[in-house]
Structure 1
Amino acid sequence: MIIPEEVAKKTDDVYKILVEANQKDHNIWMEYVFLSWQWWFCFILSIIPWVLWWKYRKKESTNRLLLGAFFTIFISMFLDSFGTELGYWDYRYELIPFLPAFFPWDLSLLPVAFLLLVQIKPNISPILKAIFYAFLSSLIGEPFFEWLGFYKSINWNHLYSLPIQFIIFLFGYFLVTSTSFEEVKRR
C-alpha cells in the first residue's frame, strides 16, 4: 500500500464518524424537514425563479446568459460547500440532504438574480449592478434566510460576503458580455 497504514486507519476512522453523522443528519431530515412547509418553500424557491426567468428572458441571448448562470451556480456551490465544511455556517432546512450547500440559494436565487440584473437596464454600469447584487445577496438575502431559520451563521459575518458576491457578479457579467466567442462553423 502506498499510503502508510497509520494514515489509512486514521482516515478510515474519520470516514466512519462522518458516515454516522451523515446518517443521523439524514434521519433528522426525513423526520423533520422533508415535506414540511420549509421544505416546500425551498422547493418553490428552487423552481419559480427559473420559470419566471424562462418566460421573460431575452430569448436570443439564452445560451450566453445561461453560461453566466452556470458560472454563478458553480462558484456559489463551491464556496458554499467550502464554507459549510469549514464550519462557517450551516443549513437547517435543505431541499436535498446530500448537498452541503443551500440548493434554492445557489442553484436558483443567486443565478436568476444575476440573470435579471444582466438583462435589465443593460446600459447601467456593471460595477453598480455588482454592488447592488452583493448588497442584495449579502445584507438582505443572508439575514432573511437566517431570520427564517434556514441558515445559521457560525463563524461568518454577512459583510464578508459582500466582496465575494461583488466579484462573482463581475466575473459572470464579463463572461456573458464577452465578445470573444467564436462562431461555430457547420460543415
Structure 2
Amino acid sequence: MIIPEEAAKKIDDIYKSLVFANQKDHEIWFEYVFLSWQWWFCVIFTIIPWVLWWKCRKKESTNRLLYGAFFIMLISMFFDSFGAELGFWDYRYEPVPFLPSFTPWDLSLLPVIFLVLVQIKPNISPILKAIFYSVLSSFIGEPFFEWLGFYKSINWTFLFSLPIHFLIFLIGYSLVTSKNFEELKPK
C-alpha cells in the first residue's frame, strides 16, 4: 500500500465519523425541513426566478447568457461549499440535504440577478453593475436569508462577500460579452 497504514486508518476513522454525521444531518432534514414552509420557500426561490427570466429573456442571446449563468452557478457553489466546509457559515433549510451549498442562492438567485443585470441597460458600465450586484448580494441577500434563519454566519461577515461577488460578476460579464458572441443590444 502506498499510503502508510497508520494514515489510512486515521482517514478511515474520520470518514466513518463524517458518514455518521451526515446520516444524522439527513435524519434531522427529513424530520424538520422536508416539506416545511421553509423548504417550500426554498423550492419556490429556486424555480420562480428562472421561470421569470425565461419569459423575459432576450431569446437570441439565450446561449450566451446561460454560459455566464453557468459560470456564476459553478463558482458560487464552489465558494459556498468551500466556506461551509471551513466552518465560515452553515445552512439550516436546504432544499436538498446532500449539497453543502444553498441551492436557491447559488443555482437561482445569483445567476438570475446576474442575467437581468447583463441584459438591462447594456451601455451602463460593468463596474457599476458589479458594484450593484455585490452590494445587493452581500448586504441585502445574505442578511435576508440569515434573518429568515436559512443561513447562519459563524466566522464570516457580509463585508467579506463584497469583493468576491464583485469579481464573480465581472468575470461572468467578460464571458458573456466576449467577442465570440453577438453584441448586447437593448431589448
Q: TM-score scaled to structure 1, two decimals?
A: 0.96
Aligned residue for 1:106? 106
CA deviations on 1:126-184 (whole Å, 9 max, x unpaired) are 000000000000000000000000000000000000000000000000100000359xx
Aligned residue for 2:120? 120
Aligned residue for 2:86? 86
Aligned residue for 1:153? 153
SS at match of 1:90: strand
Aligned residue for 1:3? 3
Provide runs of 4+ in structure 1 moved above 6 Å: none
| Distance (Å, rounded) in 2 between the aligned partners of 1:120 and 1:98 | 35
SS at match of 1:44: helix
Contact 2:84 2:100 in 1 (8 A): yes
Aligned residue for 2:54? 54
User: Mind listing any 5+ residue stretches in structure 1 that lack a counterpart?
Assistant: 183-187
SS at match of 2:152: strand
CA deviations on 1:50-107 (whole Å, 9 max, x unpaired) are 0000000000000000000000000000000000000000000000000000000000
How well do the aligned residues superpose, as a CA RMSD in angstroms? 0.9
2:179 equivalent to 1:179 = yes
| Distance (Å, rounded) in 1 between the aligned partners of 2:106 and 2:31 | 24
The percent of aligned pairs where both chains have the same amino acid is: 80
Amino acid at match of 1:63: N
CA deviations on 1:33-52 (whole Å, 9 max, x unpaired) are 00000000000000000000
Aligned-pair CA distance for 1:112:
0.1
Amino acid at match of 1:115: L
Aligned residue for 2:34? 34
| Distance (Å, rounded) in 2 between the aligned partners of 1:9 and 1:180 | 51
User: Mind listing any 5+ residue stretches in structure 2 that lack a counterpart?
Assistant: 183-187
Q: TM-score scaled to structure 2, two decimals?
A: 0.96
SS at match of 2:93: coil
| Distance (Å, rounded) in 1 between the aligned partners of 2:117 and 2:180 | 21
| Distance (Å, rounded) in 1 between the aligned partners of 2:144 and 2:104 | 14
| Distance (Å, rounded) in 2 between the aligned partners of 1:111 and 1:97 | 21
Aligned residue-pair number = 182
Amino acid at match of 1:121: K
Amino acid at match of 1:143: P
Aligned residue for 1:66? 66
Amino acid at match of 1:100: P
| Distance (Å, rounded) in 1 between the aligned partners of 2:8 and 2:105 | 36
Amino acid at match of 2:97: P
SS at match of 1:137: helix
Aligned residue for 1:185? none
